[in-house]
C-alpha cells in the first residue's frame, strides 16, 4: 500500500481575477464542484474503485507561467503493484497515470476555472 499524492490545478488566464497568491479559491463553471471535500477516486486498470479521498482547500497560486486554483489531495491505502492507475476528481473523467507517476506526484490540470 502507498499514499497517492497530487493536485488538481484549474488554470486561470493571468490578470483575469482579483485573487492574490495564497487566497482561498474554488472551481467555477464546469468545475463548480471543485472545492474542499470533493471526492477523488482511484481505480485499477479494470475500472474498479480501489481507494478514495477528498480534495483539500483550493489555493490560488501564481508564477511566471500563469495562475491556477490548486487543490492538493492525498489518497491513503492505495494498493501497490499495478502498472497503471485511474484518478478521477468528482465526475470529471478518469485520468490514467503510470505506476511511477502514481508513486511520485499526480498532476491534473484543466483550463476550466
What mean pLDDT do residues 59-71 have?
88
Of residues 39 and 113, more confidence is placed in 39
Q: Encode pLDDT of 6-31 as tens digits.
A: 999 998 877 777 788 899 998 888 88
Domain range holding 29? 2-82+90-110
Q: Which residues pair with 61 in a beta bridge?
A: 68
What mean pLDDT do residues 58-84 have?
93
Contacts 24+ apart (CB under 8 A), 49-55: 50/78, 50/79, 51/4, 51/75, 51/76, 51/77, 51/78, 51/79, 55/8, 55/89
Measure the CA–CA gap between 9 and 72, rounded to whole angstroms.
9
pLDDT at 112: 58
What mean pLDDT do residues 45-73 have?
93
Of residues 42 and 32, more confidence is placed in 42
Quote the number of domains for the chain.
1
Amino acid at each position: 500500500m502507498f499514499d497517492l499524492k497530487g493536485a488538481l490545478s484549474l488554470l486561470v488566464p493571468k490578470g483575469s481575477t482579483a485573487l492574490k497568491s495564497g487566497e482561498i479559491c474554488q472551481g467555477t463553471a464546469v468545475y463548480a464542484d471543485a472545492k474542499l471535500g470533493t471526492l477523488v477516486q482511484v481505480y485499477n486498470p479494470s475500472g474498479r474503485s480501489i481507494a478514495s479521498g477528498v480534495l483539500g482547500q483550493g489555493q490560488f497560486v501564481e508564477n511566471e507561467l500563469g495562475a491556477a486554483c490548486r487543490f492538493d489531495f492525498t489518497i491513503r491505502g492505495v494498493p501497490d503493484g499495478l502498472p497503471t492507475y485511474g484518478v478521477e476528481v468528482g465526475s470529471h473523467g478518469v485520468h490514467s497515470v503510470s505506476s511511477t507517476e502514481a508513486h511520485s506526484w499526480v498532476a491534473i490540470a484543466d483550463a476550466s476555472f
